[in-house]
A and B are shown apart, each in its own frame.
Chain A
Amino acid sequence: MSPAAAVDVEERRIFAMGGGGFTMEPNNPLLDDFVLGLSPVKEPHVLFLPTASGDTTAQINAFRSRFADRTCVPEHVSLFRLQDTKRPLAEIVLDADIIYVGGGSMRNLLAIWRAHGLDRLLVEAWKAGTVLAGLSAGAMCWFQGGVTRSSGPPEPISGLGLLDGSLTVHADGEPERLPVWLAAVRDGTLPGGWALDDGVGLLFAGRRLERVVSSRPGAGAQRVDAIAGELVRHRLEPELLEGQSHGALGGIDEAVEELRRVHRMRRGMTGGRG
């Protein structure tokens, strides 16, 4: 297949979530609706890649039930069950308007993509203006590096490098990840970058951070760089997304909110310079 035409750098879109969306927020569609809105296409083809989970039925079903009734054409590709797919991978990927990558093992995700040549197809899709979105492993993969728990304990790992810097996810939900990332940034193993709570997403136009949004009140993000061996931390205030007809934030989110506040107090994470 001939390469698709490239778009202006600023029209290349990546949306990286620290956690959230249909796999983690079954009752909160704010982030997924935001993803749909990123494509200029009225009824976008949304291609879900559940590779990082080993293509679990649970993820695929959650994707289908979230997007089935929305204005889009949901599809998924399982690299473990390709026999169900008649079309070539290249065609499927380049036909998509939005590619949504699920969470799981980042090490497996990248290795399996590379084994199928999907990494190159995704870069091509990005350059052609396809929106790339994802959470957790599916968010960190676009950066130069991240922190994975693919082998159990959290450890630094390289990504595809479409975006500069590194990313760490679930900063509130999996507190053991953050210190490993901070240490890796401090000692130069990973470049500086962003730490995102569950529910927070970074939107990039080309390689430039354009917006920081959130599906949950109180969820936060920070930018961290190592300057002369010291960590410089800036807290970012996400814009809280507003629901359309769906914005039912039930009691469960209040409970999550409270837990998050407790986590933050315990860590003494006040933002600002640290």
Chain B
Amino acid sequence: MRPRTPQIVALGGGGFSMEKEGSLLDEYVLSLTDATRPRVCFLPTASGDADHYVVRFYRRFSPSCDASHLSLFRRDQGTGGVEDDFATHLLAQDLIYVGGGNVVSMLGAWRAHGLDAILRKAWRRGVILCGPSAGSLCWFAEALSAFHGAPRSIKGLGLLPYSNCVHYDAEPARREEYHRFVGDGMRPGFAAEDGVALHFRHTRLAAAVSSRPDGRAFRVKPARDGVVETPLHVDYLGAGPAVPVPPTQSAEAAACARNDVASESISQEPVAA
């Protein structure tokens, strides 16, 4: 097998679990795989392996994919999911889809089962990693968790050496909080609104895409006074003929065409905050 590029698609919110029209972001992620019938494994850990979430995953992915899920609860009872060798199963996937929920609970459970190391290996081998919300935050070195009580910084798996903030448009306070944290020493990073996905190749941002015409994403860096928030170019996936289709070439070509690829080169009007 030829070497595949490590890729992560971090959703600020959206996808099958959160949007009625979630298929646009999910289609985009699927288009990044080389497979005609991709192998997709769902990790619902952050929801406590909620049954309804697993059902919705299969409803969405089983028609076009070899879909499976991995449950870290109720393994003694047989869950219909992956039972034996996690590592072998996950490394054989085209896409690992991480569901939303509580990121702290999820990372704790992952570590207890050695999933953190397996996911890192899968990423290096080119298994695409994606997910909304907790399924986005987990890939970054740091993340703003506002799930419960006062917002706080949490440590993710660190595959992407940035910070991350999701649901950027969901509450007015979210943006202020993220700015405050980055201003106070949280590492620079990316914020995405619901319906917006950040696509990373290796550790560089390749594209930002949206299932909503007005979806936005930002790069946030510390500045002398507070932070600089730079809007990213976001491609609306609903416009035009189709999501990037020819699979092998698509990611790179589409990304180049739309964004000048590297995160460093994304420069539009800086917004001081």
A85 touches B101 (CB 8 A): no
Residues of B within 8 A of A151 (CB): 75, 113
Residues of A within 8 A of B148 (CB): 82-83, 85
Please provide the chain B residues from 84 to 136 with a CB less than 8 Å away from any CB of chain A in the complex: 84, 101-102, 104-105, 107-109, 111-113
A110 to chain B, nearest CB (A): 7
Contact stretch, chosen from B46-54, B55-63, B199-207, B239-247: B46-54
Residues of A within 8 A of B84 (CB): 152
Residues of A within 8 A of B75 (CB): 105, 149-152
Quick check: is A107 within 8 A (CB to CB) of the other chain?
A: yes
A180 to chain B, nearest CB (A): 13
A54 touches B50 (CB 8 A): yes
Q: How far is the CA of A113 from the CA of B105 in the complex (A)?
A: 8
Judged by DSSP, the binding face of A is loop
B122 to chain A, nearest CB (A): 19
Residues of A within 8 A of B50 (CB): 54, 80
A113 to chain B, nearest CB (A): 8
Flag A152-166 by CB within 8 Å of B: 1 or 0 each.
100000000000000
Given A55-B48, A85-B148, A111 and B112 touching (CB < 8 A)?
yes
A150 touches B47 (CB 8 A): no
Partner of B108, one of A53, A55, A112: A112
Chain B residue, CB-CB nearest to A78:
B48
Chain A interface residue count, Cβ-Cβ cutoff 8 angstroms: 29
B105 touches A79 (CB 8 A): yes
Given A115-B107, A149-B76, A80 and B83 touching (CB < 8 A)?
no
Q: How far is the CA of A110 from the CA of B147 in the complex (A)?
A: 20
A103 to chain B, nearest CB (A): 10
Partner of A111, one of B76, B101, B111: B111
Residues of A within 8 A of B102 (CB): 79-82
Quick check: is B74 within 8 A (CB to CB) of the other chain?
A: yes
Quick check: is A274 within 8 A (CB to CB) of the other chain?
A: no
A255 to chain B, nearest CB (A): 21
Residue from A53, A81, A85, A116 with most neighbouring chain B CB atoms (10 Å): A81
A107 touches B112 (CB 8 A): yes
Please provide the chain A residues from 37 to 87 with a CB less than 8 Å away from any CB of chain B in the complex: 52-56, 78-83, 85-86
Flag A91-111 by CB within 8 Å of B: 1 or 0 each.
000000000000011011011
Q: How far is the CA of A245 from the CA of B111 in the complex (A)?
A: 47
Can you list 22 contacts pairing A with B, beta carbon distance less than 8 Å? A54-B50, A54-B73, A55-B48, A78-B48, A80-B47, A80-B101, A80-B102, A82-B102, A104-B73, A105-B72, A107-B113, A110-B112, A112-B108, A112-B109, A113-B108, A115-B104, A115-B105, A115-B107, A115-B109, A116-B104, A149-B75, A151-B75
Interface residues of A (CB under 8 A from B): 52-56, 78-83, 85-86, 88, 104-105, 107-108, 110-116, 149-152
- Sample of 10 more A-B contacts, CB < 8 Å, known A82-B149, A152-B75: A54-B74, A79-B102, A83-B147, A83-B148, A105-B75, A111-B111, A115-B109, A116-B108, A149-B76, A150-B75
